[in-house]
Structure 1
Amino acid sequence: MMIVKKLNCGKIKIALMTLSLFSFTAGCISLRTEYPEVNYYRLTQIEDKSQNIGMNAVKGTLQIRNFAASDAVDTDNFLGVWDDNKVQVYYYHRWIVNAADLLTDFIITRYNNLRVFEGGVVKSSSIIMPDYILEGQLIDMVAHNSNKSNSPNYVYISLRVSLIKKQPMSTEKALLVNKVFTVKSPRKNNSVETIAPAFSEAVSQIADQMLLEILDAIQKDRE
């Protein structure tokens, strides 16, 4: 009888070990399938439709300092707002860098491609002494979503910028522009795949609006 009991205990131990191993393996498989793949996006330069930009280069160099961001949009995640004002954070759909840095690099590239400043457009890390300094704060950058047929889907961006002119032989600076720019760009539907293309259009538009204001302010300052 004692031998039979020992054999039964051994079988029970083997069964428990097998069950534990199966549970651990199943747990590992579950962890792998639980998290979707993270998708990263970047902005695309949309061709300038204005005939007034980039015609005559401005003498001097423009420095664009890294934009700041309001706490609500200081992230690399896509952000959405639905009909009931519910905010959705898209944890698996992100910009390649945080939104403020994304805009800074995008605008520097755009202005350099347009060749509107003879000395070029540089970042704050450059050793070049600029003639003009552009500072900015990203106020809002959100995708508006709707399930209603009569309510549009769009992206919205709001950016405050200040253009500063460095005075020759002086530590003083002159404020030439201090303005908030806003742009809405439509989307076909509320799909997350429509967010990045719509923001590419919106940021291209806002960059061009800013540039027209900058060039006008510089021209008036020189008159």
Structure 2
Amino acid sequence: MAIVKVEKVSKRYPLGEQVVEALRDVSLAVEPGAFLAIAGPSGSGKSTLLNIIGCIDTPSAGRVLIDGQDVSGKTPDQLADVRARTLGFIFQTFNLLPVLSAEENVEYPLLQLRELSRAERRERVAHYLDMVGLARYGSHRPNQLSGGQRQRVAIARALATHSRLVLADEPTANLDRETGRSILELMQRINSQAGTTFVFSTHDSHVMAMADRLVHMEDGRILREETAGALQAEEAGA
């Protein structure tokens, strides 16, 4: 069963006296364990689609199913619970709380999971900081970390809730090329070893090249899709 199903979703925003169509009748299915990139120019609708999949925004028409659950008509509190228990987020600006240490930033979303004891939270924090190579930096605040290290903290935070689906909005945009590549390789290893599903919004060619499935968007529509085999053949012929 697909972990995400987007069915004929449209999204309209009022802009003065006009209505902007950010998404137009978009349908997409994401299988568990996918490493999928949604690519397109600015204004193509890729970030809007990611926000709707992530229950941050709601569609104007159509429906979205997350792990078999229709989230289209849920209340904000219900959506918050879906986000807390099913979804992890990685942003281009890291979105870490500056007054908290790396450990505390990773632990923060776990505070919503009241079934976890303090000891269980701390165990998860230590495990995921170690997974992203930051076991020695737990007490550091974000301003004491490099951009790549901050993004690793964000990855650990996204995974700590045991999210089955991680949504990454331009995760390499604020990183230099080498650091961005190391972050992508880390996420690819997590995808391969843990089976975590990743969906990226990107215009980074490296993200597109590493994806096992690439969805091209323009003007709020999906233009075409490519799979890993087609992508590798295209790259080999270039």
How high is the TM-score relative to the length of structure 1? 0.24
How high is the TM-score relative to the length of structure 2? 0.23
- Higher relative contact order, structure no. (Cα contacts within 8 Å, ≥ 6 residues apart): 2
